[in-house]
Structure 1
C-alpha cells in the first residue's frame, strides 16, 4: 500500500509538472501575441481623391458616380457626414473628411454647382471655396489568407448602449467573473446532456475572444478546457475594458464574398454604410443579435428572422435596464435600415493586382496584412468606369460570343501613374491578369523603336530620308530564310521615312532595322523601358518577342514624355497605422533618348493618326484632339494592338485569344476601336507639341523628300534636327494658297 501511495505521489508530481509547463506555454502564447492580435489590421487601398474647384472638368453624372463609389447616401437634405442631396446639377454634400499626408480635409457641408461639363462654383455656408478634396474611395484591401477585415475602434468611441446591450445579451456578469461562468457552463452541460450532443457552449465574452484568436471552432472537451484556462490567464494579464474592446473589434459578423467581416465598426459600414458612432438603437440591436448566427440572422438574406432577433435583443436591453421601454418601442417600429446600395469595393481586381506587385518590392506579405497600412494610389474611378464601358461596348460589337479577350492600361503622361487598368473582358473578376501577364509578339507596336534609333543619327536619317520598301531575304543561323512581307503584299519602292512608319510598311522597316544593327534596335527597346528578354533576330524589327500591354505602356510612356523614362507606378504614398508617412513614391525619371529625336518620332506618330493606319480613330475622336499612336498586328491576326497618347493620357489596348488563335482583326479593326472609344470620352488635352532647341522647320515635297516651296505640289511642313534637312530641292517657287497642314495648326499660326 505504501508503494502504491508513493507511485501515485510521483505520478501526481509528474502530472503537476506537465500541467504547470502547459500553463506556462499557454500563458506565454497569450502574453506574446494578444496585444499584436488586438491591433492586427489589413492594408487598405484607396483611389486618388477628387479635387473640386471652380472650372474643374467634371459633369454632373461623373460627380454622382464618384459619390456612389464613395458610398455617400442619397437623402433629401444632408444632416451628417456621408450624405448627398442632388437636384440636377446642384449637389449638397456633407463630406466625411480625410487625413491626407500633408493636410486634413475636415468634414463639412458644401454646395457644388456643376454645369454640363465643368464645376461652376463651390460654397460653404454661403462663402466661396477655392479648392477642396473629397475623401478617397477605398477600392480594396490586402487581407491575410483567411480573408479577415476589420476597422478598429477604442472602447470610449463605442456607443454606450451598444456595449451595454452586448453584455446584456452575451455576458451579463462580464465585470464580475474571472473569465468563465460556472453557471453558464453548468447550463450548457445540462443542455448538451439532454440533447445527447454538443449544442451549447456557455462561453463568456472572454472565452469567445480566446476561441476567435487562438482556437478552432470544433466542439470538444479538450478545446473547451483550453478555452477556460486561456480565458483565466487572459483575465489575469489584461483589464476588462481591454478584453471588451478587443471583442468589439474581433467578433465575426458576416461575409462579403471572400472577405470576412469582423468587428462592429466594419459591420456598421458594411450593413448600414454608417460610422459606428452614428448607428441608431435599432441598428445596434441588429448587429448584437447577429453574433448568435451571422449567417442565420443575415438581414439581407433573412430579413424577417433578423428583425425578430433584433427585437429579442431590444427586449433584453430593456430587462437589463440598458434602455427604456419607450426607446425600445420606437426601435422595434424602425425598418432594418440597411444600405440599399452596397459600397463599391474589391471590384477592380486587375488594378489591385498591380498595386500588390508593386508593394511587394518594399513590403513583406505580413506587413501588408497586419500592420494597418493605408495605401494611397493614383487609381481614377471615373477613368476606370469609362475604360470598362468602352471595353464592353466595343468587344460586344467585335465578338458577341465572348471568345475574344482584351486588356488595356491607362497612364497619366505627366507622372507615369497608372490611372486605370482592365485585365480581361470580365472586368470585375479576379484571375489571369492579361494586362500584366499576357505576353505576346507586339507586331508593329515595336516599329517606333526602330525609327527612333535611326532618328538619333541625324547625319544619316531624318523624317525625309528615302527608304527602300522592297522584297527582302535574310538567311538564318538555322538554315531557314526570313522573308517578311507587307500587309498588302505589295512592295512600294522608295518611300520617305515618316511615311514608312505612318503606313506601317514592313519591308522598309526591316531594311532600316538591319541597316542600323539589331543590337542598336534592342538597345533602344531597353532604353525605352523594356526590361524582359529582347531577341536579337531580324524579326525583332517587326515585333518579335513576348511583351505584355504593361510593357508596351512603359515603352510608349517614355516616347510620350519626350524621351524621359518614367517607371509606371500605382502608389503615391503609404501611411502607417498612425496616419504618418511610411513611404512616399516620388516621381522619378531619367533622360534616355534624344529630345530632338523623340520630337521627330512624335511628328511621325501624329501622322499615323492623321493620314496613316490609325486615321480610323477620328470616327470617334473630336477633330481638334491631336493624338499620336501606332497600330500593331501579329502574324495571322493573332494579336490586335494599339498604343497612343494625347496631351494628358496614354492608353495601350490589346485584343486577342487566350489560345493564341487567329482573330481576323488588325490593329486598326480591333484594339484601335477600344482605344478611340475610350480616349474620345476621357482625354481633355491634345498632344502638346513644343519644338525643342536645335530644330528647324522646312517645307518639303513629301513624294521625294526634297526642299520645296510653300503651296507647291505635295508640299508639307516638317521638323528637322539642325543640319539634317535635305540638301536637294525642287524647282518649284513658293505660292500663296492659304492652306495650312496639320503640323502648322499645332502652333496656331
Structure 2
C-alpha cells in the first residue's frame, strides 16, 4: 500500500513557481489600478466639491417688493388704506408693539413698530411710530412714540409681493451664521450630530450604531450621517439608499472638511436643508422656513419655535405642524429634552418651552404672487436689461412701483362689477401717477390671481371715442382757426372710398344738433362733428398727434380712425392719456424703481424721464374740455361717487354694438384706464358710462384724491363766448360761457347782446348826466 501511495505522488499537481509569480503580479496590478482609479476618482470628487461649493452656492430667486409707503404730516391717506398697506407688508395687529412688524389700532390712531430696511438710496431704522389721522383723510400727526418727537417723513418697509423663480423651484432666504440664534444652532447639534465639533466629516460610532440597527431590521432604517454628510447628500447627491451612494457621501464629507471650516459647513447646512414643500416650491434653509411656519424673521423666534424647526429636519412631511400638530409637538419636545440633557438649555427653560403652543401661523405666506398682471409688466420691463438666468438665480432685490392700497381698490371695484354683468364679461384696469408715470396697479381680468392672459397688457381692442381727444387736440394746436368756442357743424355727412363703399357716421343719440361749440361736441362725444373736424385738420395730422401722445397707428389711415376704429391695449391707452394728464409731457410708464444685488449694490436705478411733446396752451384747453366731459357730458354720472370739487377730467369710450366699454380719467395725482368686454368680442350691452366708468368711479372713491386744478399757462386768458354764434360775449349775455383761449386767438366778432348792452349803457349814462 505504501508503494502504491508513493507511485501515485508524482501524479499530484504541484504549484508552479511561475504561476504564483503571475498571480501575485496580477494582484499587484489590479491593486495598483484600483488605487490609481480611486485616487483619480477622489481627485475628481475633490475638484467637484471645490468648484461647486466656492462662492455663491445656490440659485436664489429675485425678490420683488412694492413701493414703500411714505408717511408725512398732511399726506392724503385714509385709515382704511393705511390698514391695507400695513397688512400687505405683513404687519400684524397685536395688543402691544414689542415686536417689529406689529401695530395697535384705536380709531384714528395707530402705533406701529416698523422694521429696519435698506433701500437703494439708504436705510430706514426700526421705529415705534405714533400716527394719527384727521377727519379729512390726511395724516394729522406723525411722531416717535418712545420720546414724543415729531417726525417729518418716515418710509415703511415695503411689501414683499413676489419672487421670480428658476424652472426648479427651490427657494431660500440666505442667512449668515451670526444671524442665527445660538439656541437653534445648539439644538441642531444636540439632536442631529452631537459630535459635530469633534469629527472630521464622518462619525465611526454613529456608523456602527446605524449598521447594527440596519442589520437587526433587515433593511435601511438608520442613516448614522453627520451634519456634513447630510449637507453632502442634499447638495451633491440623490436620496437613493445604496451602498455606493453612502461610500460617496462619506468620502465627500471627509474632503469637504479638509477644505472648509466647521463654521462654513454649518452655515451652508443651515441654508441648504430641506424643511417644507409649498405647492411646487421647495422650502430650503432655516431663514425661509421661519417665514413659512411663523411668518417671522429667524432672529425673532422663541426657543420652542427654534426647537420645532430643528425637529422638522428629520422629516418635514411626517412632522408637518399644520397637518400633524401632535407629532410635531412630540418631536419639538424631544429636541428640547436633548438640549437639556446636553446642557444647552436649563430644566426650567425646557419646561416652559414645552408648555407653549406650536405658534405656527394658520396659513403660510404665499409663494405665488398675489398680483400676476402687475408682475407680468415688471418682468417685461426687466427683460430689457437682464437675462432670465440673472433674474432667477442671482438673488436680486427688485423695487417696483406697485401701491398695495391702489391695487386693492382696483381689484375690488373690477371684481364687484364683473360679477354683476353678463357671464363672460371681462375687464382690465391700469392706474398710474400723473406726475411721474409710475404704475400703481394692474388688474388683468376678473380672476384676480390667474396668471394667464393679461388683458391689461395684451388685449388689443377698438377704443372708440377714447381717440377723440387726439382729434380735438390737433384742432386746438391751430388756435387761429379753432378754439373751445368754435362752432362745428353737426349735420349729415357721407363718405365714399375708391371701392365705392359708403360710410355715414351717426351720433350715438341718432340726432343732429346743427352747430355745436367745440367743447360741447367733445363733452357729449358727438361723432359727426368730430369726423368733420378731423377731415378738416387732416387725417395725417390726427395720426401724427396720436403718435406724439404715445399711440401707434398704421401707415395707411382711414376716416374711421377718427371714431376709434383702431386697436390699442389698455396699456397703450394709458400711455396716451398719461401725456394728456401730465400737461403734454411724454413720460415712459415705469413699473420698476431700482434693482439691487443681495449685498445692496445698486445695479439699476430708473429715474424719471420726460420730454415735452405738446405746447402747454393747447393741452390746457383740451384738459378743460375733458373736465367738461365729467361736469356736464357723457361722464357726468361720476358725481355718484366723486364730488364735483375734484374737477376730474376724463373720456368715455364705446365701440359699435357695445362690444367694448372704456373709460380713461385723471385727478390731480392719479390716472386710471378701465376696459370692459368679452374675450370672444361678443356684445356686452354696456356703454363707456354704464360699464367701465362704473368701475373707475368705485375704484377712485376708495382712494384719497387731489383735485385737478392746473395752473393756466401765461398765454391763456379766459373769454366770454356766445354759444349760439361763437362770437365774443359778456357775462350778462343769455347764452354766454367763459372759456380759456390762447392769447390773440379769441374770435374777432362780438355777440349782438354785447352791442345791445352797450347801447343801453350809453343811454343810461346820458340820463345820469342829464339829472346831474
Q: So what's the TM-score if we normalise by structure 2?
A: 0.89
Structure 1's unaligned 5+ residue stretches are 737-749
- After TM superposition, the structure 1 = structure 2 runs for residues 425-436 of structure 1, keeping only pairs within 5 Å, are 425-436=446-457
Measured in 2, the distance between the counterparts of 1:94 and 1:650 equals 33
Given the alignment, which residue of 599, 604, 617 partners 1:578?
599
For the pair shown, which has the larger CA radius of gyration, 1 or 2?
Answer: 2
Structure-2 change in CA distance of 1:9 and 1:385 (3 Å): same
Is 1:621 the counterpart of 2:642 in the alignment? yes
- After TM superposition, the structure 1 = structure 2 runs for residues 39-118 of structure 1, keeping only pairs within 5 Å, are 40-116=59-135, 117-118=137-138
Structure-2 change in CA distance of 1:451 and 1:73 (3 Å): same
**CA positional deviation for 1:152:** 2.0
Structure-2 change in CA distance of 1:241 and 1:648 (3 Å): same
Measured in 2, the distance between the counterparts of 1:406 and 1:218 equals 50
Instruction: Report the counterpart of residue 522 of structure 1 in structure 2.
Output: 543
**CA positional deviation for 1:487:** 2.2
Bigger CA drift: 602-611 or 502-511?
Answer: 502-511
Is 1:310 the counterpart of 2:332 in the alignment? yes
Measured in 2, the distance between the counterparts of 1:533 and 1:199 equals 71
**CA positional deviation for 1:200:** 4.7
Measured in 2, the distance between the counterparts of 1:217 and 1:537 equals 67
Bigger CA drift: 384-393 or 207-216?
Answer: 207-216
**CA positional deviation for 1:4:** 6.8
Measured in 2, the distance between the counterparts of 1:191 and 1:543 equals 79
Instruction: Report the counterpart of residue 167 of structure 1 in structure 2.
Output: 189
Bigger CA drift: 726-735 or 122-131?
Answer: 726-735
Instruction: Report the counterpart of residue 11 of structure 2 in structure 1.
Output: none
Contact 2:76 2:704 in 1 (8 A): no
Structure-2 change in CA distance of 1:481 and 1:13 (3 Å): farther
Measured in 1, the distance between the counterparts of 2:241 and 2:514 equals 84
- After TM superposition, the structure 1 = structure 2 runs for residues 405-484 of structure 1, keeping only pairs within 5 Å, are 405-476=426-497, 480-484=501-505
Measured in 1, the distance between the counterparts of 2:735 and 2:47 equals 87
Instruction: Report the counterpart of residue 698 of structure 1 in structure 2.
Output: 719
**CA positional deviation for 1:679:** 1.6
Contact 2:489 2:515 in 1 (8 A): yes
Is 1:352 the counterpart of 2:371 in the alignment? no
Instruction: Report the counterpart of residue 290 of structure 2 in structure 1.
Output: 268
- After TM superposition, the structure 1 = structure 2 runs for residues 83-162 of structure 1, keeping only pairs within 5 Å, are 83-116=102-135, 117-124=137-144, 125-162=147-184
Measured in 2, the distance between the counterparts of 1:144 and 1:339 equals 27
Is 1:384 the counterpart of 2:407 in the alignment? yes
Given the alignment, which residue of 684, 696, 714 partners 2:735?
714
Q: How many residues align?
A: 734
**CA positional deviation for 1:645:** 0.3
Is 1:298 the counterpart of 2:320 in the alignment? yes
Given the alignment, which residue of 393, 398, 407 partners 1:375?
398
**CA positional deviation for 1:531:** 4.9
Give 3-state SS (helix, strand or coil) of 1:704's partner. coil
Give 3-state SS (helix, strand or coil) of 1:727's partner. coil
Bigger CA drift: 674-683 or 664-673?
Answer: 674-683
**CA positional deviation for 1:222:** 4.5
Measured in 1, the distance between the counterparts of 2:309 and 2:76 equals 42
- After TM superposition, the structure 1 = structure 2 runs for residues 555-574 of structure 1, keeping only pairs within 5 Å, are 555-574=576-595
Structure 2's unaligned 5+ residue stretches are 1-18, 758-772
Bigger CA drift: 727-736 or 269-278?
Answer: 727-736
**CA positional deviation for 1:135:** 1.7
Measured in 2, the distance between the counterparts of 1:219 and 1:671 equals 61
Bigger CA drift: 711-720 or 624-633?
Answer: 711-720
Measured in 1, the distance between the counterparts of 2:253 and 2:588 equals 52
**CA positional deviation for 1:371:** 2.4
Structure-2 change in CA distance of 1:591 and 1:123 (3 Å): closer
Bigger CA drift: 378-387 or 59-68?
Answer: 59-68
Deviation per CA, 1:590-625: give whole Å up to 9, x if none: 111222111111111111111211111111111211
Measured in 2, the distance between the counterparts of 1:534 and 1:169 equals 73
Structure-2 change in CA distance of 1:299 and 1:436 (3 Å): same
Structure-2 change in CA distance of 1:450 and 1:201 (3 Å): farther
Structure-2 change in CA distance of 1:262 and 1:670 (3 Å): same
**CA positional deviation for 1:291:** 1.5
Instruction: Report the counterpart of residue 739 of structure 1 in structure 2.
Output: none
Contact 1:139 1:344 in 2 (8 A): no
Contact 1:646 1:683 in 2 (8 A): no
Contact 1:347 1:429 in 2 (8 A): no
Contact 1:711 1:734 in 2 (8 A): no
Instruction: Report the counterpart of residue 684 of structure 1 in structure 2.
Output: 705
Is 1:591 the counterpart of 2:612 in the alignment? yes
Measured in 1, the distance between the counterparts of 2:31 and 2:465 equals 83
Bigger CA drift: 727-736 or 92-101?
Answer: 727-736
